[in-house]
Structure 1
Amino acid sequence: MNSFAVIRKAKEDDIREKYPTVSHISFINKLLQPYKSKEIMLNDITAAEIKIPDGFERIKLKRSCKFGNEQYGYVLSKDYDINFNLFFYHSCLIRALDYYTVSLGCDLRLGEVAIADASTLEGRNCFFLLLPFARRIILISKKSRSLFQM
């Protein structure tokens, strides 16, 4: 996967920032089309954020999904429950954590990682995603019996 698009609902502040002249007219807000607010590149992966203003959301959602599939190849949305996989979300966070720690000069491959509340779904996903490249993983939880059921 070289690129993906994230579809989100546009907030009033975002609309005022993007369209300062027409944002105060309420019925025109419903006619505003979806727009690409950000595009982020990390190595070879491109991520774009598409925001959808309120009003006629089904039509706008269909249009933005079509645009995202043509332009980026993969579309996901937590707000509209499109292709949203919690494991994929956690894997993106772990990869970002890996790049962030390397940019700070401390590599996860050389140090220890402590996962607080490892008995939750997020803790278990982080554990399985950190297994290939973390040197040592410390699991912390109040529910120690649930750790044995992984």
Structure 2
Amino acid sequence: MGETQWDIQEVKRLKKKQVIQYNLAMLLVFVLFGYFVEIGKVSMIFVMFCVLCWIIAVTSLYTLNTGKPVGTKTNKRLQEFDRDRLGEKRWKRRTMIGAVLISVVSVALTVFLFYTNFENSRMEFPRDAFPLIGVWVGYNLGELVRISNL
């Protein structure tokens, strides 16, 4: 599909739907974060983030190698739009950078998990959740700006 064949209003609607899906997933992560902090299982928080990073890394690498988008129907459609809009070369470069970065983070987090003693680690909820909240708010603001710029 050429860029002129995309209905921008439909893309905006799909992007808003994707933001809602992301927010529901982040709400689940936030609740799990709070739960694990309250029961004193700090290591489970890092395991949860490690697994999440590996899932993202594997799906990114799969998309890069096969060219097939992975995710919900909305997500797949938006990936097709981005690929068409950016062009094959820019899309591939951007996807490769993302896949490499998330893979490096995944490996680093895995190594961190194996070499860290969580016995005496303490976290306080909600004070230690502020970085998570910051990422959540930042993502939402960035997406709203990108949607309005379409």
Q: Normalising TM by the smaller chain, what interval?
A: under 0.3
Higher relative contact order (CA 8 A, sep 6+): 2
Q: Which entry has the higher C-alpha Rg, 1 or 2? A: 1
Q: TM-score, normalised by structure 1?
A: 0.22
More helix by share: 2
More strand by share: 1
Q: TM-score, normalised by structure 2?
A: 0.22
